[in-house]
Amino acid sequence: MTITCLMMTHGRPYLVNESLHSFLRQEPIPGVRCEMLILNDCPEQVLEFDHPSVRVLNYQTPFTDVSVKQNHAISLLCGEWVAYWDDDDIWMPWRLRMSWEFARTMKARAVKQARAWYVENNMIKTRPYNLFFGSALFSRDYYVECGGATRNEPADKTAWTNMMGQCCAAIMDPSPVETYFLYRWGGPGVHDSAPAGLLQNRATNEERHRVFRQRTLASSLFQPGAIRLTPHWKRDYEADVRQAIAAGKGELT
């Protein structure tokens, strides 16, 4: 049995390095093979990384609709179970083990956490209750049966809504020490895949992609050509979580 950690990325290898490092730090799950699939559709960049548990696919033609990109990857390229693995967030080492154990206990075909550590410009602010689709683990077949992501709508949100509608999904409300998802906001290149104003104006995925791609290519952080990934964390996020718990931030809502 395989869990595929799906990272869809476009022009942000400096974020991929941290997200990939989160995967490489994951605790093993007995009887389960965990792999990472990095799907890069930025033709100006070729990402390279050699590891038996990591697949890197470089597409020469960008997907203009992230929902189509996500449906393509999950239905054709992933193992029996899939974990969202956004390129701009961080996961604690117990993410896969805990979500898999919860899914088995609840006999659920899709699970996610209701809380995440909210990180703004590298500072943990709180542990709010929110949607946090990026924490989800789900059966590939269940995703397909429920219709996947809705075209030209937010990919993760609509996919989760469609799965929840079939009553085989479960949500866990973790304690501070169980919370495995660090949702990062602010800082260079983080969470700019839905540029300001477009979500509020009900922009299509194609419109979001067009603006995001223009900003990505114009960014001072963008470097074309072949890029060998160097997985690492820029700071000790596990220590940040321990300090947030000690400071009582984990109990804020």
The residues spanned by each domain of the chain are 2-251
pLDDT band at residue 204 under the 50/70/90 scheme:
confident
Q: Which CATH architecture describes the domain 2-251?
A: Alpha-Beta Complex (3.90)
Tokens in use for 163? 């799965």
Backbone phi, then psi, for 123, in 5-degree steps? Answer: -120, 125
Alpha-carbon dihedral sign for residues 166, 168, 156, 112:
positive
Region of poorest pLDDT, from 53-57, 117-121, 242-246: 117-121
Query: What is residue 171's predicted lDDT score, i.e. its pLDDT?
Result: 95
Q: Which of 205, 108, 116 is nearest to 164 (CA)?
A: 108
Q: Over 70: is that where the pLDDT of 188 sits?
A: no
pTM of the model: 0.91
- Cα gap 139→75, rounded to integer Å: 11
Q: Which two tokens stand for residue 196?
A: 């300001």
Gap between the Cα atoms of 91 and 39, Å rounded:
19
Helix, strand or coil, per DSSP, at residue 252: coil
DSSP category for residue 150: P
- Whether 57 shows a pLDDT value over 90: the answer reads yes
